[in-house]
């Protein structure tokens, strides 16, 4: 199957009601073209898994403003006032997760693990509804793995097989999310021929990447 496609063809795979993971940290490392295409398409009732909701005019923040999410699972919402407004109005369900816990839940989903134990969140609202397990006299929360129907990622370079490299901090959640979704769509700043990437530079193997979209300039 040819992996390189257009923005429009790529977002046709995302249907109402799906769960999507989106790479990025305050929009850095987010696939901005794919997000804009989803805003244009108007796909709704989505569940978002992301570090944050960016800003009202940037990255997934645009989709929040467009009211395309029914639920978000993020580490914070403070940079996007519209997220907080929708949450308080009962228009949007928000699940706040400590950042390290969110990253590990995604990693566990990608690795096929049944969950992991962490002391993070004990004695706070984060422990509500979670099972506690004692190991060697210490208490931990059982955190469950998390996966998505689709992961939308941003890479600095992709070869035509889908092997990826990322640029500095733009790497963030992207490699973890590449392992934890049924369909992985990557927006690449640059696409090169197979063999052009030094194998030691590959951060995400092409075997987990389904579709590649050239970044809209």
So where are the chain's domains? 7-111+144-214
Alpha helices (H) in the chain, listed in sequence order? 7-11, 32-41, 60-65, 81-88, 99-111, 174-178
Closest alpha carbon to 56 in 39, 31, 80, 38 = 80
pLDDT tens digit string along 48-76? 999 999 999 999 999 999 999 999 999 99
Burial level of 119, CB count in 10 A (0-12/13-18/19+)? Answer: exposed
Q: Residue 216 has what pLDDT?
A: 72
Q: Residue 22 has what pLDDT?
A: 98
pLDDT tens digit string along 196-216? 999 999 999 999 999 999 997
Q: Cβ distance 58 to 85 under 8 Å? A: no
Q: Cβ distance 193 to 160 under 8 Å? A: yes
Q: Does domain 7-111+144-214 have CATH number 3.40.630.40?
A: no
């Amino acid at each position: 199957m040819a992996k390189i496609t257009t923005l429009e063809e790529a977002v046709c795979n995302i249907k109402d009601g799906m769960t999507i993971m989106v790479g990025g940290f305050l929009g850095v490392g987010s696939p901005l073209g794919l997000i804009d295409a989803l805003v244009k398409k108007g796909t709704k009732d989505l569940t978002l898994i992301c570090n944050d909701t960016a800003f009202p005019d940037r990255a997934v923040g645009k989709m929040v403003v467009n009211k395309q999410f029914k639920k978000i699972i993020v580490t914070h919402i403070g940079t996007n006032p519209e997220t907080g407004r929708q949450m308080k109005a009962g228009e949007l369900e928000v699940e706040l997760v400590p950042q390290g816990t969110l990253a590990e839940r995604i990693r566990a989903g990608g690795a096929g693990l049944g969950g992991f134990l962490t002391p993070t969140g004990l004695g706070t609202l984060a422990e509500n509804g979670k099972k506690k397990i004692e190991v060697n006299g210490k208490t931990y929360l059982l955190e469950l793995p998390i996966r998505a129907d689709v992961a939308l990622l941003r890479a600095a370079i992709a070869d035509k097989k889908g092997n990826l490299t990322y640029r500095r901090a733009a790497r963030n959640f992207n490699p973890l999310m590449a392992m934890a979704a049924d369909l992985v769509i990557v927006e690449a700043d640059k696409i090169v021929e197979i063999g052009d990437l030094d194998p030691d530079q590959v951060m995400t193997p092409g075997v987990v990447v389904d579709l590649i979209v050239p970044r809209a300039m």
